[in-house]
Amino acid sequence: MKNIAAIGSGSWGVALALQLNKNGHHVKIWSYSQEEADLINQKHACMFLPNITIPNEIICYTNFEDTMKEAEIVLIVTPSNAIRSTLEKLKPFTNENQIFVLCSKGMEPDTLMIFTDVIKEVLPHVHVAALSGPSHAEEVSEFAPTAVVVASEEEQVMDELQEIFMSDCFRVYTNSDLTGVEVGGSLKNIIALACGISIGMGYGDNAIAALITRGLLEISRIGVGMGAKQETFYGLTGLGDLFVTCSSKHSRNRKCGVLLGQGKSLEEAKKEV
């Protein structure tokens, strides 16, 4: 059994906590919101996942010290715009034996750095990995069959995380191409927005197929230019994640695009999503 801290109480943080709890690990969640923490601790519910019940042994805290106490694995599941500031606040509670797993997708807006590089910059003493792939929280939280990728430059870290996360419904593959895994998980959102806009404007499947196919090529070219391996983009964290984000009813980026295509303003679309 591992002691695991999930830094973020949104749908993805809770979904991963449920998976790890099911695998017999001890999981704590950190939330910036006392309201969300009370909902988890008192009603065993998540406002973003109405169909699930959170087991009693998963506790949510609003301070980093209690959340990080004895943590061996730390999942970073905060919104991408808060990752660097959150890492800075976590620094006093870290040690060289911990594995930090990036579970959020995106790039740092100001620097265009992938977030595992941000972790390395802020916390150079910890081990670093990323978890990504086609994995909507709504399905993961209900233990629907899902396949993801754990990426790290350290083979021992990948093997350990694969064993920790793997279950009969959550299959974990490994990949040492951190850049490719993160770029695929970030840039697919742009193509999903485009697909949503196309749907909102009333275009058909031909346009969607073109956007996905040509979009994947553009993503792979950018990724290779950043030092990634081209084959990474034809796996779960490239094609797989692109497909699910462009086609699923759970995709917020796709939904936002649909609303834009229907003529709503960006602010109206963001508010509705």
Phi, psi (degrees; rounded to nearest 5) at 195: -65, -40
Does residue 188 carry a catalytic annotation? yes
Strand partners, 74: 5, 100
Q: Sort 117 into a burial class: Cβ within 10 Å, 0-12 / 13-18 / 19+.
A: middle
**Structural contact between residues 75 and 83, judged by C-beta atoms closer than 8 angstroms:** no
Question: Measuring CA to CA, how many Å separate 174 from each of 39, 77, 178, 236?
Answer: 35, 19, 10, 11
Q: Which of 22, 188, 229, 249 is catalytic?
A: 188
**Structural contact between residues 116 and 152, judged by C-beta atoms closer than 8 angstroms:** no
Instruction: Please state whether beta strands 170-175 and 146-151 pair in parallel, antiparallel, or not at all (unpaired).
Output: parallel
* Residues that are catalytic: 188
